[in-house]
């Protein structure tokens, strides 16, 4: 699996370097501190009065637009109050007697049976009418705010006098007036749309009293478009996108909109209905500030105010400004802060990098020096730093390196001496090794020669035994042929001689065979298998069954062990020994016992008999080939059997010995490899 880049050695080295750690720690500390300070500066401190720049500016923006809305509302109400006062003043100046005279004249003219138009044409031409209208026009020119002043009949609301020539005789159209209102000094305020340009007209009505009786109503008319537009939308604080809107209770806009409305509006033939939340809340008598979308579907900060002009006429004022424009300074401030912070961080990291370099340089120098020392250069020295702690470190290092240099030199000399000693020893050892190698080679050569000789000997043995046996067989055969050919003609002596020749050649043949066996035992490969000696004894007993029966021999064997060895050869050992015990018997029938025991980690097997025994002087000699203690006439045999036994036991790394005395039987002791340690 490919290792991640992080585990790259160079990168790890960089990460683990002191310089990087100083840079990272101080850089991070600075960034965190700066971020914390700036966050607190911008967003305030929790659980404290410190509000933070961002929130403060936001709060100021909210407060500012609230303040503007309050000012606009006060301005509006003040303006309405002034108009209300103006109306009362104008009404109080109207000459009631002249109005009554006008009424009387109208009544008289009407009784003449004139049409309405004729009546009012006539009335308008009268001096009385003209003089009152002149008075009203003087008032209009004096106030410079009113578009028209009219006097209406309080019962029928017929215009009886007007500064506008076309109005007299018409019924006054009113909105927001409770017809049953029996008010005495109550000023009605109502609105209407201008039939020409659809702008909003506001009418202030005030009763003209005679005692407690209302004789007429004075109505002054103001076209608000020229008033409200500058009043609501001039002055500082609204910015480029700011706008103040006035709506009535039906949510109709009473002012001309600054922007073209977007979708979501429904427009009547002469009205625009605003459906925004602040406008609705304001007309419902609520005041406040909210962030919402305006009629353009643009997010705005809108302060809304309820304008209770009269019991009947209640308006809503919405002062709004695009959120984007309002919060632009705040956003800019945050952006500047971020930029300044970023620059500060870069500068801080740069300065920290330099400081980190300065701080880590002596250590780096020390580290480089230590590296050189580790590579064996003890001449290296560091320049002592100006810093007190590092100066001590540097001086200690230099002193340490100097001491190390001395030690190193001393060690070098000792090593040199030892090396020379070792070289001498090495030379001696090399010589010995060479000699040993030569000896080994010589031994190997001799062993090879021996092996070849053995091979040759084996071949010779085989050939010799075969070739030697051949004339013996011929001799035996011819002796037999001679007996057959001559037969009865042979003398007793000749027969005896032929019999000697035949027996001698038979013994010679046996001797040759035994010699060959002895030779083979010496060279044959010995197997290393488990050999149960009980089976061996049984096999021997079976093989010698005829002999045992003839001699009345008795063989007793205790439980014998299983040993490691070659079954055939070990079998031969026991066969030779038991056969000898039977062969060299005394007058009593042979009694042979086979026992075994474990002693000193090896098996000792005893074969005891009650035979004729052996003179202890010959106990060792009997294991030599052709060593016979008796003549062949007494006991037949070649004298090689025990030599074969010894050879076989020796090939099993064991030993064989005999303890005996003449006439007391013999005890053959075989020692074989014991069981492996548990």
> Is 284 one of the binding residues for another protein (CB under 8 A)?
yes
Q: What span, in angstroms and rounded, lies between the C-alpha atoms of 214 and 73?
A: 32
Interface mask toward another protein for 248-267; x: CB under 8 A: -x------------------
The DSSP line for 97-144 is HHHHHHHHHHHHHHHTT--HHHHHHHHHHSHHHHHHHHHHHHHHHHHS
Stretch that binds another protein, among 101-109, 276-284, 564-572, 629-637 (CB under 8 A): 276-284
C-beta closer to another protein: residue 212 or 525 = 212
For another protein, the binding residues in 175-194 under the rule CB under 8 A are 178, 180-186
Smallest separation, CB 208 to another protein (Å) = 16
Tokens of residue 231, six digits = 């009043």
606 with 667: CB under 8 angstroms? Answer: yes
For another protein, the binding residues in 482-541 under the rule CB under 8 A are none
Q: What span, in angstroms and rounded, lies between the C-alpha atoms of 234 and 237?
A: 9
Stretch that binds another protein, among 279-287, 330-338, 420-428, 568-576 (CB under 8 A): 279-287
For another protein, the binding residues in 190-229 under the rule CB under 8 A are 212
Q: Within 13 Å of residue 448, how many CA atoms lie on the same side as its CB? A: 6
C-beta closer to another protein: residue 74 or 270 = 74
193 with 208: CB under 8 angstroms? Answer: no
> Is 82 one of the binding residues for another protein (CB under 8 A)?
no
Characterize the bridge pairing of strands 213-223 and 148-152: antiparallel
Smallest separation, CB 154 to another protein (Å) = 14
Q: What span, in angstroms and rounded, lies between the C-alpha atoms of 140 and 132?
A: 13
246 with 256: CB under 8 angstroms? Answer: no
For another protein, the binding residues in 609-648 under the rule CB under 8 A are none
Q: What span, in angstroms and rounded, lies between the C-alpha atoms of 362 and 358?
A: 8
Smallest separation, CB 85 to another protein (Å) = 12
Smallest separation, CB 42 to another protein (Å) = 14
Stretch that binds another protein, among 278-286, 360-368, 425-433, 540-548 (CB under 8 A): 278-286
C-beta closer to another protein: residue 316 or 590 = 316
Characterize the bridge pairing of strands 243-247 and 272-273: unpaired
C-beta closer to another protein: residue 45 or 354 = 45
For another protein, the binding residues in 159-178 under the rule CB under 8 A are 178
Stretch that binds another protein, among 29-37, 48-56, 256-264, 385-393 (CB under 8 A): 48-56
Stretch that binds another protein, among 49-57, 463-471, 487-495, 576-584 (CB under 8 A): 49-57
> Is 85 one of the binding residues for another protein (CB under 8 A)?
no
The residue written with tokens 């990168």 in the block is 11
Smallest separation, CB 183 to another protein (Å) = 5
Give 551's contacts (C-beta < 8 A, 6+ positions apart). Answer: 582, 585, 589, 590
C-beta closer to another protein: residue 207 or 654 = 207
C-beta closer to another protein: residue 292 or 660 = 292
The neighbour count for residue 328, using CB atoms within 10 Å, is 12
Please calculate the CA angle 460-464-469 and round it to the nearest 5 degrees: 160
Q: What span, in angstroms and rounded, lies between the C-alpha atoms of 545 and 667?
A: 22
Query: Integer distance in angstroms from the first to the last C-alpha of the chain?
Result: 50
> Is 46 one of the binding residues for another protein (CB under 8 A)?
yes
Q: What span, in angstroms and rounded, lies between the C-alpha atoms of 121 and 106?
A: 11
C-alpha R_g of the chain: 74
Q: Among 147, 119, 324, which residue's Cα sits nearest to residue 239?
A: 324
Q: What span, in angstroms and rounded, lies between the C-alpha atoms of 288 and 479?
A: 158
What phi and psi values does residue 613 have, to the nearest 5 degrees? 80, 170
Q: What span, in angstroms and rounded, lies between the C-alpha atoms of 322 and 258?
A: 13
- From residue 257, how far is each of 228, 246, 260, 277, 604 by CA, in Å? 12, 10, 7, 17, 133
Stretch that binds another protein, among 139-147, 260-268, 287-295, 496-504 (CB under 8 A): 287-295
Smallest separation, CB 386 to another protein (Å) = 34
> Is 675 one of the binding residues for another protein (CB under 8 A)?
no
Smallest separation, CB 380 to another protein (Å) = 36
Q: What span, in angstroms and rounded, lies between the C-alpha atoms of 192 and 207?
A: 20
C-beta closer to another protein: residue 77 or 498 = 77
> Is 271 one of the binding residues for another protein (CB under 8 A)?
no
> Is 62 one of the binding residues for another protein (CB under 8 A)?
yes
Smallest separation, CB 212 to another protein (Å) = 6
Q: 201, exposed or middle or buried, with CB in 10 Å at 0-12, 13-18, 19+?
A: middle
C-beta closer to another protein: residue 85 or 616 = 85
Smallest separation, CB 315 to another protein (Å) = 11
> Is 51 one of the binding residues for another protein (CB under 8 A)?
yes
Tokens of residue 272, six digits = 């625009």
Q: Which of 12, 13, 21, 63 binds another protein (CB under 8 A)?
A: 63
Smallest separation, CB 227 to another protein (Å) = 19
What phi and psi values does residue 247 have, to the nearest 5 degrees? -130, 150
Please count the residues of the chain. Answer: 678
> Is 286 one of the binding residues for another protein (CB under 8 A)?
yes
What phi and psi values does residue 46 have, to the nearest 5 degrees? -60, 150
For another protein, the binding residues in 288-317 under the rule CB under 8 A are 288-291, 306, 308, 310-312, 314
Interface mask toward another protein for 6-45; x: CB under 8 A: --------------------------------------x-
Smallest separation, CB 46 to another protein (Å) = 4
Q: Where on the chain is the footprint of another protein (CB under 8 A)?
A: 44, 46-47, 49, 51, 55, 59, 62-63, 77, 81, 178, 180-186, 212, 249, 277, 281, 283-291, 306, 308, 310-312, 314
């Amino acid at each position: 699996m490919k290792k991640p880049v992080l585990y790259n050695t160079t990168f790890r080295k960089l990460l683990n370097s002191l310089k990087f750690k100083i840079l990272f720690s101080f850089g991070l500390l600075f960034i965190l501190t700066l971020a914390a300070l700036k966050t607190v500066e911008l967003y305030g401190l929790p659980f404290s009065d410190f509000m933070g720049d961002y929130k403060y500016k936001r709060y100021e923006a909210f407060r500012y637009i609230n303040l503007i809305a309050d000012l606009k509302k006060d301005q509006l109400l003040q303006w309405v109050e002034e108009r209300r006062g103006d109306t009362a003043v104008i009404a109080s100046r109207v000459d009631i007697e002249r109005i009554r005279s006008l009424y009387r004249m109208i009544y008289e003219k009407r009784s003449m049976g004139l049409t309405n138009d004729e009546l009012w044409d006539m009335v308008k031409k009268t001096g009385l009418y003209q003089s009152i209208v002149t008075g009203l026009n003087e008032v209009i020119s004096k106030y410079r705010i009113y578009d028209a002043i009219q006097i209406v009949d309080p019962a029928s609301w017929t215009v009886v006098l007007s500064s506008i020539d076309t109005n007299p005789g018409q019924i006054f159209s009113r909105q927001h007036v409770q017809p049953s209102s029996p008010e005495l000094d109550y000023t009605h305020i109502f609105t209407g749309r201008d039939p020409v340009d659809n702008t909003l007209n506001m009418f202030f009505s005030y009763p003209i009293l005679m005692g407690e009786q209302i004789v007429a109503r004075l109505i002054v008319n103001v076209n608000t478009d020229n008033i409200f537009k500058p009043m609501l939308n001039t002055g500082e604080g609204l910015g480029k996108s700011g706008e103040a809107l006035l709506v009535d209770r039906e949510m109709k806009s009473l002012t001309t909109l600054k922007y073209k409305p977007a979708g979501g509006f429904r427009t009547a033939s002469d009205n625009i209905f605003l459906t925004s939340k602040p406008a609705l809340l304001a007309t419902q008598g609520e005041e406040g500030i909210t962030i919402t979308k305006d009629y353009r579907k643009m997010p705005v900060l809108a302060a809304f105010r309820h304008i209770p002009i009269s019991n009947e006429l209640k308006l809503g004022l919405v002062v709004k400004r695009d959120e984007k424009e309002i919060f632009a300074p705040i956003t800019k401030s945050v952006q500047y802060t971020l930029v300044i912070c970023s620059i500060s961080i870069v500068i801080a990291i740069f300065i920290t990098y330099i400081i980190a370099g300065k701080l880590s340089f002596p250590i780096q120098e020390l580290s480089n020096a230590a590296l050189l020392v580790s590579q064996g250069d003890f001449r290296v020295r560091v320049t002592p730093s100006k810093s007190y702690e590092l100066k001590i470190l540097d001086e200690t290092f230099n002193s340490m390196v100097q001491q190390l240099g001395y030690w190193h030199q001393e060690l070098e000399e000792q090593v040199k001496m030892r090396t020379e000693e070792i070289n001498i020893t090495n030379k001696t050892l090399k010589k010995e090794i060479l000699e040993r190698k030569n000896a080994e080679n010589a031994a190997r050569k001799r062993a090879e020669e021996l092996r070849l000789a053995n091979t040759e000997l084996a071949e010779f043995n085989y050939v010799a035994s075969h070739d030697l046996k051949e004339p013996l067989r011929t001799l035996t055969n011819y002796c037999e042929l001679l007996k057959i050919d001559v037969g009865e003609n042979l003398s007793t002596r000749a027969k005896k001689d032929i019999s000697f020749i035949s027996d001698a050649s038979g013994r010679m043949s046996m001797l040759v065979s035994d010699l060959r066996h002895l030779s083979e035992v010496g060279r044959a490969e010995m197997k290393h298998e488990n050999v149960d000696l009980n089976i061996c004894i049984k096999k021997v007993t079976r093989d010698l069954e005829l002999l045992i029966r003839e001699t009345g021999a008795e063989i007793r064997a205790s439980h014998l062990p299983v040993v490691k060895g070659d079954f055939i050869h070990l079998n031969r050992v026991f066969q030779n020994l038991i056969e000898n015990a039977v062969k060299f018997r005394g007058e009593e029938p042979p009694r042979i016992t086979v026992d075994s025991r474990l002693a000193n980690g090896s098996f000792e097997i005893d074969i005891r008999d009650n035979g004729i025994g052996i003179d202890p002087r010959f106990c060792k000699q009997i294991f030599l080939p052709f060593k016979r203690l008796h003549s062949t006439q007494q006991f037949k045999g070649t004298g090689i059997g025990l030599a074969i036994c010894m050879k076989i036991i020796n090939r099993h790394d064991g030993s064989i010995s005999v303890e005996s005395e003449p006439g007391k039987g013999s005890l053959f002791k075989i020692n074989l490899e014991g069981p492996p340690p548990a």
